[in-house]
Amino acid sequence: MAKFPDIGQSVAVSGKSLGHYPFTSAMSGTRADKGKQRAMMAHITVDVVSDVAGLRQLGREWHELERLSPPSAVFQSHSLLALWADAFMQSAGGSRTLSIAAVREKGTLKLLLPVVLTGKTGMQVGHIAGTPIAQYSEILADPSGPIELYFQTALDGLRRAGADLLMFEGVRADSLLQRALGGRSDRPMNARLAPFANLSATPDHAALLRSRSKNLSKGLRNRRNQIDKIGDVRFEVIKGGPEAREAISTAIGLKREWLVEHGNVSRAFMDGTTTECLLDLAENCPEAVVLRMTLDGEQAAIRLGLEHRGAFFAYLSAYDTRLAQYSPGKLLMDFSFQAARERGAQVFDMLAPDGEHKRDWCSEAVPVADHAVPLTVKGRAYLTIIEQGLRPTLSWTWHHLPPRVRGVLAPLFLKV
């Protein structure tokens, strides 16, 4: 089994290491000299699109850049962001501003940096468009071009549009955004790992299981034998439509119950807009797929995944805790791996953070971290005082509260 990298450890971004994902690009090479860059700058322009209509109008060119970008750009795909914008931008009431930096070279779209600006007049903080749904922050770009030059042009455009600070959460070490950041980012924050399984390394699901711990296969067989004795167990894939929406509605309810029981709080479950967006994605997003396990026709475990360019992203899952002794979540995970392979996935990405239940299935992981890019003096001050000072302190305090106290407070945050 391949060794997991240490948190914060850098990984090579050569074509070989990216072979785990069905994406390769010229990630290295000599930097263009300053004279050549100045000549190129004469042909590079940036426009900032600031409404949902403009996002939709970029659709054809957006899809062309998606085909050049890594699979992890799924959270910035045009179809996902169009649904996200309908939910979040329409309900924002002026508190959020969509700002999509579209960089062109000789008229051809070369890079898209979609962000949403929030804050009062005089201080605007940008997060990647798709927040809080997005688990990875990524740009869409032509990797054969001067990415850092395109990115700097995008930053200049966003600064002119009023952005003071950009916060990128969930930047993969092998992403185009990481490459584009260069030395522009402040020190990385919240370093973690995103485990994944390279499905193309094994010929079939049985071979994948043989490559893992014997306890995993044995446990799956035992749990399946036990639950088969109490009822009719079935697994299915639901691709869009009202049935997918209803299944994810049930999953969100189960997840909220689990969060309250364990005294946890998640931004994704703290407001109705996020819930409605997830339901819309399940029903209408081309990348979304729902996997479900039922027992005698009742939902036992549910997973919402995203499929994009040969990768499956295990996004959200929940199970009926009354069936916990039969491990319905593990049984559905087993089915999810099989279904993802059958549907053409070469990679099964379990997203950050790392966990033992993910390592049961995955032998590889990529470092992920949050990055901040201050664009103004005000942005630098806000980063130092709030993002690097107050916010980590509040997070530390919450996680060090006694579980019983968090259990009492969590329902208040989740508005149960």
| DSSP assignment string, 223-263 | HHHHHHTTS-EEEEEE-SSHHHHHHHHHHHHHHHHHHHHTT
Q: Give the least confident one: 1-15, 85-99, 233-247, 318-332.
A: 1-15
Equal fold, 17-192+368-414 vs 196-366: yes
How far is 412 from 414, CA to CA, in rounded Å? Answer: 5
Q: Where are the beta strands (DSSP E) in 74-162?
A: 96-105, 108-118, 125-128, 140-141
The pLDDT of residue 2: 38
The pLDDT of residue 396: 59
Pick the closest to residue 234 from 338, 319, 317, 335 (CA basis).
335
The pLDDT of residue 386: 76
Instruction: Return the CATH architecture of domain 17-192+368-414.
Output: 3-Layer(aba) Sandwich (3.40)
Pick the closest to residue 2 from 337, 362, 341, 352 (CA basis).
362
Q: pLDDT tens for residues 317-337? A: 999 999 999 999 999 999 999
The one-character DSSP state at 103 is E
Contact 368, 193 (CB under 8 A): yes
CATH superfamily for 196-366 is: Gcn5-related N-acetyltransferase (GNAT) (3.40.630.30)
Q: Would the pLDDT of 387 be above 80?
A: no
How far is 247 from 289, CA to CA, in rounded Å? Answer: 11
**Mean pLDDT value across the chain:** 87
Determine which helix (DSSP H) or strand (DSSP E) holds 141, and give its type and residue range.
strand 140-141
Domains in the chain: boundaries: 17-192+368-414, 196-366
Tally the C-alpha atoms within 13 A of residue 127's C-alpha that lie toward its C-beta: 15
Contact 98, 82 (CB under 8 A): no
List the beta bridge partners of residue 45: 104
pLDDT category at 394 given cuts 50, 70, 90 is low
Pick the closest to residue 102 from 92, 94, 93, 111 (CA basis).
111
* Residue 314 dihedral angles phi and psi, to the nearest 5°: -80, 95
Structure tokens at 291: 């996997």
Structure tokens at 221: 């067989």
The pLDDT of residue 317: 96
Q: pLDDT tens for residues 2-36? A: 344 444 343 332 232 333 333 333 334 455 556 66
The pLDDT of residue 295: 98
Instruction: Residue count of the chain, please give it.
Output: 416
